Amino acid sequence: MKTASEDKPLVKKKRQKRVRTELKRKKGKKATRIKLEAKPLTEEQIQFFLKYYKENSSFPGSKIPCNMTGKLTTCVGPWLVKKIKEYGGAENLLRKYKCRGAMKRQRDALKPVKTKKPRNKKRQEIINSMKTTDSSEQKVWDLPKIAFCGPQPMTEAELAETTKGACLRPDIYLDNDGHCAGCKYVDLCQNRLKNIKKIKSKK
């Protein structure tokens, strides 16, 4: 006779087999899968899709084609539910669905075409006259002469005019506590802060 320990593996196998059969019953028949070509659906295909949708609440495949370009788009799960609601039914979705690329083309076609403004005729004539047909040809331009010279020292009159708005030696002025002693521009300085009075030294 078989002992209880020997019967355990057999019971376990029977239980696993029962669970598998129950799962298969729940799953039922496998969903029909069809291979679509990248082109709009025919009337016959639309009727087949609608019949399948009424029985299974899904389309017989994971993709549907665009009605303008024929591009295939994945159409399953929540996306399918959303699009059916958006288009107002499964039949409208199959007949009127447009992919993003097709919708973008439609929007671009409705946009007004931008036209370039015509250039000023006189300006264009000048530009054309400046262009040379032969690269070896040298163009002679009539340009005004420019006198190039280095920096020139300021005259006394210019220095005096400058001192009205600025001190030429602020370092001396600040070091002497607001006194101009030692500045070589004292005689021509016209600044309102000019100070040549002697300052009494602190004892």
For the chain, give the number of residues. 203
Count CB neighbours of 180 within 10 A.
19
Q: Check pLDDT > 70 for residue 99.
A: yes
Q: Check pLDDT > 80 for residue 199.
A: no
What are 39's two structure tokens? 């082109």
pLDDT bin (cut points 50, 70, 90) of residue 201 is: low
Task: Look over the chain and give the mean of its residue pLDDT values, rounded to a whole number.
Answer: 79
- pLDDT for the residue numbered 26: 47
- pLDDT for the residue numbered 203: 46
pLDDT digits (tens, 9 = 90+) for 157-195: 998 999 998 999 999 888 888 888 889 898 889 998 888
| CA pair distance 50, 35, nearest whole angstrom | 17
- pLDDT for the residue numbered 22: 61
What are 74's two structure tokens? 């994945």
pLDDT bin (cut points 50, 70, 90) of residue 2 is: very low
pLDDT digits (tens, 9 = 90+) for 41-77: 889 999 999 999 888 888 888 889 998 888 898 888 8
| CA pair distance 133, 73, nearest whole angstrom | 56
pLDDT digits (tens, 9 = 90+) for 109-157: 888 877 777 667 777 777 777 765 555 566 667 777 877 777 888 888 9
Residue with tokens 């040298």: 138
For the chain, percent of residues with pLDDT exceeding 70: 74
Domain coordinates in residue numbering, the chain: 43-110, 156-203
- pLDDT for the residue numbered 36: 80
Count CB neighbours of 105 within 10 A.
14
Q: How far is CA 131 from CA 118, 119, 124, 142, in A?
A: 20, 17, 11, 16
Give how far the C-alpha of residue 84 lies from the chain's centroid of Cα atoms, to the nearest Å.
32
Per-residue HEC secondary structure of 55-83 comes to: HHCCCCCCEEECCCCCCEEECCHHHHHHH
